[in-house]
């Protein structure tokens, strides 16, 4: 499962922080989670997950507070959660998750991104079956063996535990996200380098050198769309 999560996260955070896009995306996601349940992370599990993810991207407190206060204030703004599936250059597979208040606009923008960058949209289910929904949590300062023992003692089941660039990466079922974090926190771990609910490809593919630039452009264009929250793909990111 080695996806070099630390490197990927840092690259994305650096790219997005320069334009503040990551803050806007998290602000929207926090608002939606708070709006769908109680605006309190202790009683709203979805909100708690988003807030834990936001911490790993250093989202400023005022962004978080503003989004929660907006939800508390009874804002009538609503968003639809959408998933698009498609194919990039050389048959690569791409999943795009969005939050939008204008479905037609988002669909048109995502379709345009695919068609202008060597890809094409697929029907629902054409790609997602090749990915697994996964909780990914990363920590520093412990060995994989220590983390495995800790989680076993807490009776927390995980899929896999790997060490990548001195970071221990834990892969688990999505519904184990909180259980893993609580077990780690009980052992004194409070900082997470990675805390994601993501879609991991069952198999990765390599893109020929002459198609890499086009593929990277497709992913960049999709990630830069205002309504897009997450983009997943099955291309080997390399080192």
95 lies in some domain? yes
239 lies in some domain? no
Residues 34 and 118 occupy one common structural domain: no
Residues 168 and 220 occupy one common structural domain: no
Domain total in the chain:
3
Residues 121 and 228 occupy one common structural domain: yes
Residues 142 and 51 occupy one common structural domain: no
Residues 27 and 67 occupy one common structural domain: yes
Residues 125 and 135 occupy one common structural domain: no
pTM for this model (two decimals): 0.89
Residues 178 and 67 occupy one common structural domain: no
Residues 119 and 211 occupy one common structural domain: yes
For residues 202-216, give the mean pLDDT: 91
**What pLDDT is attached to residue 165?**
80
10 lies in some domain? yes
**What pLDDT is attached to residue 164?**
83
176 lies in some domain? yes
31 lies in some domain? yes
Q: Mind listing the pLDDT tens digit for each residue in 27-43?
A: 999 999 999 888 888 89
The CATH number of the domain holding residue 178 is: 3.30.70.980
- Is the pLDDT reported for residue 61 higher than 80? yes
pLDDT band at 239 (very low <50, low <70, confident <90, very high): very low
Of residues 216, 222, 234, 204, the one with CA closest to residue 82: 222
Contact 121, 85 (CB under 8 A): yes
- Is the pLDDT reported for residue 229 higher than 60? yes
238 lies in some domain? no
What integer best gives the mean pLDDT of the chain? 89
Helices (H), the chain: 5-17, 21-36, 45-56, 61-72, 103-115, 144-153, 177-186, 209-224
Single residue among 56, 72, 88 that ends a domain in this structure: 72
pLDDT band at 3 (very low <50, low <70, confident <90, very high): low
Q: Mind listing the pLDDT tens digit for each residue in 117-172?
A: 999 999 999 999 999 999 999 999 899 999 999 999 999 999 999 988 889 999 99
58 lies in some domain? yes
Higher-confidence position of 2 and 126: 126
The CATH number of the domain holding residue 43 is: 1.10.10.200
Residues 124 and 138 occupy one common structural domain: no
- Is the pLDDT reported for residue 19 higher than 60? no
In DSSP terms, which residues pair with 138 in a beta bridge? 169, 194
Single residue among 72, 94, 121 that ends a domain in this structure: 72
209 lies in some domain? yes
Q: Which range marks the domain in which residue 211 is found? A: 80-129+205-233
Contact 47, 41 (CB under 8 A): yes
**CB-based contacts of 95, cutoff 8 Å, min separation 6:** 83, 84, 85, 127, 128, 131, 199, 230, 231, 232, 233
- Is the pLDDT reported for residue 18 higher than 90? no
């Amino acid at each position: 499962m080695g996806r070099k999560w630390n490197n990927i996260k840092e690259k994305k955070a650096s790219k997005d922080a320069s334009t503040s896009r990551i803050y806007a995306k998290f602000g929207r996601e926090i608002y939606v989670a708070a709006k769908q349940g109680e605006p309190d992370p202790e009683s709203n599990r979805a909100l708690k997950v988003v807030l834990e993810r936001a911490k790993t991207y250093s989202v400023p407190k005022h962004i978080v507070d503003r989004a929660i206060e907006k939800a508390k204030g009874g804002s009538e703004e609503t968003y639809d959660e959408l998933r698009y599936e498609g194919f990039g250059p050389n048959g690569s597979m791409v999943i795009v998750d969005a939050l939008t208040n204008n479905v037609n606009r988002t669909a048109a923008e995502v379709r345009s991104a695919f068609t202008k960058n060597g890809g094409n949209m697929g029907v629902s289910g054409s790609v997602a079956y090749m990915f697994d929904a996964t909780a990914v949590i990363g920590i520093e300062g412990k060995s994989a063996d220590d983390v495995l023992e800790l989680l076993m003692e807490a009776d927390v089941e995980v899929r896999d535990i790997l060490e990548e660039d001195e970071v221990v990466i834990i892969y688990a079922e999505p519904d184990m996200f909180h259980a893993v974090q609580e077990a780690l926190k009980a052992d004194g771990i409070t900082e997470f380098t990675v805390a994601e609910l993501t879609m991991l490809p069952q198999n990765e593919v390599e893109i020929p050198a002459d198609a890499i630039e086009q593929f990277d452009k497709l992913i960049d264009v999709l990630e830069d769309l205002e309504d897009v929250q997450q983009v997943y793909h099955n291309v080997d990111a390399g080192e």
